[in-house]
Structure 1
Amino acid sequence: MTNKQARLDEVRQFLPEWLEQSRQEAAFGEVASYIPELSKARRDALGIHLLDLSGNSASAGDCDTTFTLQSISKVFTLILALMDNGEEAVFGRVGMEPTGDNFNSMLKLELVRPGIPFNPLINAGAITVSSMIKGSSPEEKSARILEFFRRLAGGSELQVNEAVYRSEYETGNLNRSISYFLVENGVLDGGVENVLSVYFRHCSIEATCRDLARMALVLAGDGTDPVSGEELIPRRYVQIAKTFMITCGMYNASGEFAIKAGLPAKSGVSGGILTFVPGALGIGVVGPALNAKGNSSAGVHLLERLSQRMDWSLF
């Protein structure tokens, strides 16, 4: 750990320069527009925050920019569903394998093991997971998710961006199609609109790179809060989440990111990326311009370069 702290000092020296170099990659990406509210993000924004288990940090760029978690939230709703229901119940309804298809594809639902989503990080799987969060109403489920996320973020007052939520809810017809298919196959219950309300709300929780880094740090510490020492997540569920992040977390570029960066990571179409160095660092990145695979063009470039320079790869 001491070596990692010393290397964080090294990171501070070259991070601003590297960030500005990576920012140029934003020119090759596009801001997500299929959720209309996301299209308002600044295309060339790029920020990063790194936080270690002793509270030391390094940051550069637009790290105070707020953005919605989008698919990053799926990691933590999976963990909460596991804490609520256990492995057997969750993985009786959601699989454990990468799909090779787009995150919002319905193809494998019909062609392979009908009706069962391949994994919890694609939309079909995350919608199913959202239905498994305990609560007597969509409002109670959403409140539990928000409170859990706030605890992981060290007490940060995270909030749902209501404009993004409405934008997702009003335009989310493909997710409705997926949901009705899941209902037809006996995978999803609780009412499509109720479940989608929960799903769209946790995707619309707003954060900064600092919040992401703090949430990632809990995963880096195997589920233990680095300040209080409290176990917020059972270690076993961190192992599960970490594995999904490696195999599925960067959409159809997960294998490439594993080779080039070698870190567990989860991206979102708002341009956020949450990643961590196990036992050492939590990292949050935002860069709204997305590449063809739906990941931040500039953010991926910066993380791959950092990991290679600092020898952070797990492999």
Structure 2
Amino acid sequence: MQCRSSNDLIQFVTEAKSVIKNGKVADYIPALGRAKRDDFSIAIHYPDGNCISAGDIEKQFTLQSISKVISLALVLIDRGPDFVFERVGMEPTGDPFNSIAKLETMAPAKPLNPMINAGALVVTHMLKGNSVEERFSRLLTFIQELSNDPSVSYSTEVAYSEFETADLNRALCYFLKQHQIINEDVEQLLKLYTKQCAIEMNCLDLARIGMIFAMDGRDPLNGKQIIPIDIARICKTFMVTCGMYNSSGEFAIKVGIPAKSGVSGGIMGSVPGKFGIGIFGPALDEKGNSIAGIRLLELLSKNYNLSMF
């Protein structure tokens, strides 16, 4: 698909880029630390198939935590909300996304929501299949369908880099296993989870997935209901309450659209009933969100009245 440029969008991107100097790439994962801090791009995908963009929207980046909302959708389709939410909660948290603190004070010790790392690990644990390869293939095929891009794959370099530096996630897994929230080999689960986080695509692919969520799980270009309406609604609600790490409340007030970010600098936005947004800007703020991406979404929401509130 060809995206056309938009003078207004280019102007907003130029303004948003002014804050990049205050951000930092995610160098705690070595492979992500090699990103170019000044990269910045956006694609907006409309349900009629049109697209507008600014920046190098063909540049590939890994989904990281954006994958959490997509794996949640697949697991909810496979197992149903009752099964899933017996094992992971629905409440937002003000703690960092990789915190173990709440697990130690909750009874039972299930994660508060699927968007923090502990909750995402439990969700990934629920992916159906008889091996890491089979489970990953199901998730990847689902993402390829959502993006309408069969070339979407994953970065072996990033997956390996994350696996080798995943000690905090290992600690979360062992805690969850001790409390019978998960029951598989920790290293196998981490292999699956790090491959999931390393799935890579460009802004246009991401915007198209955001558009599917915006349209209540239906692909308007072929008429297929890829995600059931009630599951798309659940996912969008988590995007609003928990999607931007522990600045989700501030984001809801300033921007007011369902969105999910990742530490690679990606942000997926879903403006209900209107369009999907894909952003890549690897310079992050202190909460782990793309600093220019947040600023750009604030500008778009304010100028075009995009807030759902």
Query: What TM-score range do you get, normalising by the shorter chain?
Result: over 0.9
Task: Select which of 212, 237, 242 maps to 1:243.
Answer: 237
What is aligned with 1:40?
A: 34
Tell me what 1:5 maps to. none
C-alpha distance in 1 between matches for 2:205 and 2:90: 28
Higher mean C-alpha deviation, range 281-290 or range 112-121 = 112-121
* Residue 162, structure 1, aligned to residue 156, structure 2: yes
RMSD: 1.3
2:180 to 175, 186, 195: 186
How far apart, CA to CA, are the structure 2 residues paired with 1:18 and 1:306?
8
Q: Deviations over 1:187-240 (max 9, x none)?
A: 011211111111111100011110100111111111111211011000000010
| 1:14, distance to aligned residue in structure 2 (A) | 1.1
Once the two structures are TM-superposed, the CA of residue 21 in structure 1 deviates from its matched residue by 1.6
Question: Any residues of structure 2 matched to 1:57-96 within 5 Å, and which?
Answer: 57-96=51-90
Question: CA offsets per residue over residues 123-176 of structure 1, 9 Å max, x none?
Answer: 000000001010011110000000000000013411110000000001100000
C-alpha displacement of 1:98: 0.8
Q: CA deviation at 1:36?
A: 0.6
Select 1:265's aligned residue among 236, 242, 259: 259
Deviation of 1:114 after TM superposition, in Å, equals 4.3
Residues in 1 aligned to 2:289 and 2:149: alpha-carbon distance in whole angstroms: 28
Contact 1:108 1:114 in 2 (8 A): no
Q: Normalised by the size of structure 1, how large is the TM-score?
A: 0.95
SS in 2 for 1:117: coil
For the residues of structure 2 that align with 1:88 and 1:178, how far apart are their CA atoms? 23
Q: Tell me if the contact between 1:263 and 1:275 (Cα under 8 Å) persists in the aligned partners.
A: yes
Q: Aligned partners of 2:94 and 2:63: how far apart in 1?
A: 23
Query: Is 36-45 or 16-25 further displaced after alignment?
Result: 16-25
- Partners of 1:114 and 1:219 lie apart in 2 by 31
Q: TM (normalized to structure 2)? A: 0.97
Q: 1:301 aligns with which of 289, 292, 295?
A: 295
Q: Aligned-pair distance for 1:62?
A: 2.5
Query: For each residue in 1:249-271, what CA deviation from the matched residue of structure 2 results, as whole angstroms up to 9, or x when unmatched?
Result: 00011011111110000000000
Per mean C-alpha deviation after superposition, the further-off stretch among 219-228 and 138-147 is 219-228
Structure 1 counterpart SS, 2:73: helix
Q: Which amino acid letter does the alignment assign opposite residue 88 of structure 1?
A: D
Structure 1 residue ranges (4+ consecutive) displaced by more than 4 angstroms after TM superposition: none
Q: Is the 8 A contact 1:35 1:171 kept in 2?
A: yes
Aligned length: 307
What are the equivalent positions in structure 2 for 1:144-293 lying under 5 Å apart? Answer: 144-293=138-287
Paired letter, 1:161: S
Check the 8 A contact 1:251/1:294 in 2, yes or no.
yes
Q: Counterparts of 2:272 and 2:298 in 1: how far apart (Å)?
A: 16
**Contact 2:149/2:205 (8 A) holds in 1:** no
Q: Is the 8 A contact 1:159 1:205 kept in 2?
A: yes
Aligned to 2:6, the other structure's residue is in SS state helix
**Gap regions ≥5 residues in structure 1:** 1-7
CA contact (8 A) 1:156 1:211 kept: no
For residues 306 and 156 of structure 1, do their structure 2 counterparts lie closer, same or farther at Cα, with a shift above 3 Å needed? farther
Quote how far apart the aligned CAs of 1:32 are: 0.3
Cα contact 1:267–1:295 (8 A) shared by 2: yes
> Residues of 1 paired with 2:184 and 2:137: CA distance?
17
Give the letter aligned to residue 36 of structure 2.
Answer: R
Give the Cα separation in 1 of the matches to 2:102 and 2:174. Answer: 15
